[in-house]
Structure 1
Amino acid sequence: MPPRLRATLPCLTAAALFALALSPAPAAAEPRATSDTPLALTPPMGWNNWAHYMCDIDEAKVVANADALVSTGLAAKGYDTVTVDDCWMTKSRDAQGSLVVNTAKFPHGMAWLGEYLHAKGLKFGIYQDAGSLTCEKYPGSGAPQGGGADHYAQDARQFASWKVDYVKMDGCNLWVPEGATKEEAYRDAYNDVAKALRESGRDMVLSASAPAYFQQGEWGGSDWHKVLGWVGETGHLWREGKDIKVYNPAAPATSRWSAVLGNYGYNRWLGRYAGPGNWNDPDFLIAGAPGLTAAESRSQVALWAMMASPFILSSDVSKLTPAGLTALGNTRMIQLDQDPMGRQGSVVSSNATFEILVRPLANGDRAVAVLNRSSATRDINVPLDEIGLGDCTAGAQDLWTGTSREVTETLTGKVAGHDTGVWRLSPRACAQAVPTGQIVGDGARCADGANTTGVGAVVMAACTGAPDQRWTAGKDATLRLAGECLSAGEDRIVELADCSDRAAEQPGQSWSQRRDGTLVEEVSGMCLTAPAASAPAERLRLTECGDHRVDQAWALPV
């Protein structure tokens, strides 16, 4: 059946209901960095070697890929930060405690490499680790196991002397002091890293890997949610989970599509943390590289753009497929990713075949994407009234082709297997849109009003995109389904009931979402809580709000 969806909205209402010969040419003058310069106001873009070369990296490969970014035109389109990942240094620091460049791999050194990149109009990124050793057992910046002095400040000053612009700070081998939890140790370490970079004398974007060391499945555990809550205080972007599948030169045709879907899977629910200067990072773009078809490459670009994710390639840029290069260089898709509002798109409808996302944009437009998970070309059918634009017509631009048309009631089209269609909708003279779509909770299940256990019952069920999972968020802080309001009933059981004419004054019908994902009923101050996955027919209820409980975290339409 063609997919149907409900939409998103740019408004935040009552209680902020749903809260953006290698010789470099003469270097051009660089912008002067200041300690109060806002950084990463849009998602960073560029290249990193890891998912293609891993430790098989050297100066020649970095320079060749930097040159390819320029010659392909990708650098001019924003892919401007070239980052050297793990294995660039020797296994020991020098007598002064400084990191030592492996000159067999990088004969001209890192200061030279930074100068070369800057002369090309590019930025220079480098890898380190907040632990005692990097993931590949090179010297890390953190304290040794058992305790002792760290090297955060010394390494930050060394990077500043090389004119580094971007630091990827991994989280392997991080010492947990006695009496501290792992989560506390990571928080202290990454705060120290951020402080060292701020005091280094040079502005450097910080990519923090902390959340990835706490991920437990797509919905995550309590500590994962805790780390997501504070990592934005330290880094400008952060890795939340698994690495994207790396290229295997011994079996280059091995599919990497499942890794793209997996990383998209855990990232798609985290929009509440994203905004200018803070970005959820589901890892590298491998579009156009071995292991993805042309359609799958387009899907990754589209989904990453809808999620306001960093556009960081990890491939041999000179060998990108023509279709992959076209997708990566699509200026309309780049503009979508870099939209200055910085709101991450929301999943508003999903089932086994289709997933539909909507993203509000700075000029009032809406981006709509339809992912076809199946292997066959499918017709798609997206009624405007199910994306909150029921009183509207809209101009619809296909971001892949650039063609435009008017849509009066329903956005239609075809999407190939494993592909993702994306349209930019410009509403015409109509009332403000209403945030509409799924309420997703523990285990990526949906709040469902199917009345399976009695009139007005709300349970958790597999997400289907059906009308009994299609909620709207009202300006009066209500959550509505089929004309009824989510309400706190007797014995703390949550139910659907008639909406009060004065919903904000009606006990149990006024809701607000906190940044940690909890959905709070305003009168009682208690939190909406999902039943265990083993009890699918059990009704949702209110319980005391806990500390980053996974059964109290919710993803809502934007």
Structure 2
Amino acid sequence: MLAVTLSAGPSTAEPTATSDVPLALTPPMGWNNWAHYMCDIDERKVVANADALVSTGLAAKGYDTVTVDDCWMEKQRDTAGNLVVDTAKFPHGMAWLGQYLHARGLKFGIYQDAGHLTCERYPGSGTPDGGGQDNFARDARLFASWKVDYVKMDGCNMWVPPGLTKEQAYRQAYEAVARALRDTGRPMVLSASAPAYFQQGEWGGPDWHRVLGWVGNTGQLWREGKDIKVYKPSAPATSRWSSVLGNYGYNRWLTRYSGPGNWNDPDFLIAGAPGLTDAESRSQVALWAMMAAPFILSSDVGGLTPAGLAALGNTDLIALDQDPMGRQGAVVSAGQAFDVLVRPLANGDRAVAVLNRSAAALDVSVPLADVGLPSCTVTAKDLWTGRSTEVSEALTGRVGAHETAVWRLTPHGCAEPVPTGQLTGDGARCADGQNTTGVGAVVLLPCTGGSDQRWVLEPDRTLRLDGECLSAGEDGAVELAACVGGDGDGGQEGRRWTALRNGTLVEDVSGLCLEAPAPATPPAADGSAPRLRLARCGDHQVNQAWALPV
């Protein structure tokens, strides 16, 4: 397994899965029809939205890939086995569409499926149900002949051969997709939907974590969970905010998988489209930027609200999303009403965002020490207003209902930032070192944003809370104990941890993994919670996966 030190960025797969040319070194940007039009798509609508990207100035700001989703083809292949474009919808064909987009400085994306049928039951590229020859290479060659730049490969209707698990079948299929695209000789970004077909709630199950571990070796981005809620023309005012929060929810814990050429994709941006308020539209753009998520619109671009268009075109937010370090932001503090996220940036700056989930405005104060900048002065630029202020204690402000405040912090003469914040485990609960029964006990409790859940990941690979170290205790329990010596001292046996890319935290001496306990059933009469323990490292056990501050 790939190991990283606690203070370093996560290692990622080589961004050359589908080409000898590095692809998608920053998150892809563009437009896709699905969340607004679904199958009601045709050449006229695609061209109109492409033209709107140009006329609104969004294309010049990076929204340059136009992707046609499901339902563009006939229900049967031709006698030679090739896919057939539905010429009633696309009378000029796909090669012409690619030429049209390229002539306007845009890129051309197309949809297919790694199963034997697409989600809407058009011909897929995968192995037929029951076995037989797949069409990965044939379809890749066809896409290359159309000068396609980007392939969204869905995962519906996958045949699982006898002797393979579902996860193994998906891995074989997506590896074959990547190989077929690479063999064409044309660089094509691959958006792989494999993880979405294994998601089990926000924290996921073992197979979901397995797929997240290998999907970056096939594609440059992957939709790892539920689709964003689609627009319904019959009920245009239906709120879609809960869908935005849901997709943000499963994506926010996956920082370790993201980096240049590999991007977690919480699905489309619908900012400015029906179903979101102006505040909610701004929030989605801010949260997706903090998570280094692809900025792929799925809306009627010509019908975007002025506030949505302004948020999507905010050059400071686009620069944040496209930061070349490619490090996804992490939740460092959370409660029922708020999340605080931090993202390290390539030039040494740090971005900080505060999401207000509630229906009322919140007054917020975020100490600089809580975002890894103790004893520091920074220039804090509000990315919504553009105003900058000098801050030496805390970021403060009033965050409206469903709004997300975002600052870019430029430190002045500060020490190297130290990852600081909550240690999040199974069920999105937090390691808590003070509200416990028993001296030094560490338990898993609902996240509160309190000081008892504020861990510091020191360069010597210790995890510290109020100056004490997370340590191997007796009988497999972990505890808070005095750190031995100073930072960098060689005497921290039982107190050093190695973070692996699969999310496990391994105690160096024993080689055992930090394991989150199941909630007590029924709860203990004294209100105490089960303690965190060390256990033999399992195979992608969800109770051994941890999300760390950055």
TM-aligned CA distance change 1:40 to 1:197, over 3 Å: same
How many pairs does the alignment contain? 534
The answer to whether the 8 Å contact 2:435/2:452 transfers is no
- Asked whether 1:543 is paired with 2:535, we answer yes
The answer to whether the 8 Å contact 1:18/1:557 transfers is no
Q: CA separation in 2, counterparts of 1:433 and 1:205?
A: 34
**Of 438, 442, 454, which aligns to 1:458?**
442
Q: Which has the higher contact order (CA 8 A, sep 6+)?
A: 1
Q: 1:25 — aligned with what?
A: none
**Of 333, 336, 339, which aligns to 2:320?**
336
Q: Which residues in structure 2 correspond to 1:310-325 (within 5 Å)?
A: 310-325=294-309
Deviation of 1:18 after TM superposition, in Å, equals 6.4
Q: 2:15 — aligned with what?
A: none
Over residues 345-384 of structure 1, what are the superposed CA-to-partner deviations in whole Å (9 max), with x where a residue is unaligned? 0100000111100000000000000001111122111111
The answer to whether the 8 Å contact 2:420/2:455 transfers is yes
Deviation of 1:507 after TM superposition, in Å, equals 2.5
Unaligned residue ranges in structure 2 (runs of 5+) = 13-17, 524-528
Q: CA separation in 1, counterparts of 2:371 and 2:465?
A: 14
Deviation of 1:238 after TM superposition, in Å, equals 0.1
Over residues 243-267 of structure 1, what are the superposed CA-to-partner deviations in whole Å (9 max), with x where a residue is unaligned? 0000010000000000000000000
Q: Which residues in structure 2 correspond to 1:69-84 (within 5 Å)?
A: 69-84=53-68
Deviation of 1:15 after TM superposition, in Å, equals 8.6
**Of 91, 94, 98, which aligns to 2:75?**
91
Q: 1:261 — aligned with what?
A: 245
Over residues 318-350 of structure 1, what are the superposed CA-to-partner deviations in whole Å (9 max), with x where a residue is unaligned? 000000000000000000000000000010000
Deviation of 1:35 after TM superposition, in Å, equals 4.5
Q: CA separation in 2, counterparts of 1:465 and 1:62?
A: 45
Q: 2:288 — aligned with what?
A: 304
Report the residue type matching 2:386 in the other structure.
G
- Asked whether 1:514 is paired with 2:517, we answer no
Tell me whether 506-515 or 87-96 shows the greater mean CA deviation. Answer: 506-515
The answer to whether the 8 Å contact 2:5/2:499 transfers is no
Q: Which residues in structure 2 correspond to 1:180-195 (within 5 Å)?
A: 180-195=164-179
Over residues 383-421 of structure 1, what are the superposed CA-to-partner deviations in whole Å (9 max), with x where a residue is unaligned? 112212121110010111111111121111111100000
Deviation of 1:19 after TM superposition, in Å, equals 5.9
TM score, norm. by length of structure 2: 0.95
- Asked whether 1:526 is paired with 2:518, we answer no
- Asked whether 1:484 is paired with 2:476, we answer no
**Of 97, 101, 109, which aligns to 2:93?**
109
The answer to whether the 8 Å contact 2:19/2:188 transfers is no
Q: 2:546 — aligned with what?
A: 554
The answer to whether the 8 Å contact 1:17/1:477 transfers is no
TM score, norm. by length of structure 1: 0.94
Q: CA separation in 2, counterparts of 1:124 and 1:455?
A: 61
- SS, match of residue 325 in structure 1: helix
Q: Which residues in structure 2 correspond to 1:93-492 (within 5 Å)?
A: 93-492=77-476
The answer to whether the 8 Å contact 1:197/1:204 transfers is yes
- SS, match of residue 446 in structure 1: strand
Report the residue type matching 1:195 in the other structure.
R
Over residues 38-72 of structure 1, what are the superposed CA-to-partner deviations in whole Å (9 max), with x where a residue is unaligned? 10000000000000000000000000000000000
Q: CA separation in 1, counterparts of 2:453 and 2:25?
A: 34
Deviation of 1:533 after TM superposition, in Å, equals 2.9
The answer to whether the 8 Å contact 2:7/2:418 transfers is no
- SS, match of residue 423 in structure 1: strand
Q: CA separation in 2, counterparts of 1:523 and 1:489?
A: 12
Q: CA separation in 1, counterparts of 2:19 and 2:341?
A: 37
TM-aligned CA distance change 1:229 to 1:406, over 3 Å: same
Moved over 4 A (4+): 12-20
TM-aligned CA distance change 1:16 to 1:396, over 3 Å: closer
Q: CA separation in 1, counterparts of 2:9 and 2:304?
A: 43
The answer to whether the 8 Å contact 2:10/2:257 transfers is no
Q: CA separation in 2, counterparts of 1:275 and 1:387?
A: 21
Q: CA separation in 2, counterparts of 1:201 and 1:14?
A: 39
Over residues 75-122 of structure 1, what are the superposed CA-to-partner deviations in whole Å (9 max), with x where a residue is unaligned? 000000000000000000000000000000000000000000000100
Deviation of 1:534 after TM superposition, in Å, equals 3.8
- SS, match of residue 309 in structure 2: helix
The answer to whether the 8 Å contact 2:5/2:498 transfers is no
TM-aligned CA distance change 1:274 to 1:35, over 3 Å: closer
The answer to whether the 8 Å contact 1:17/1:511 transfers is no
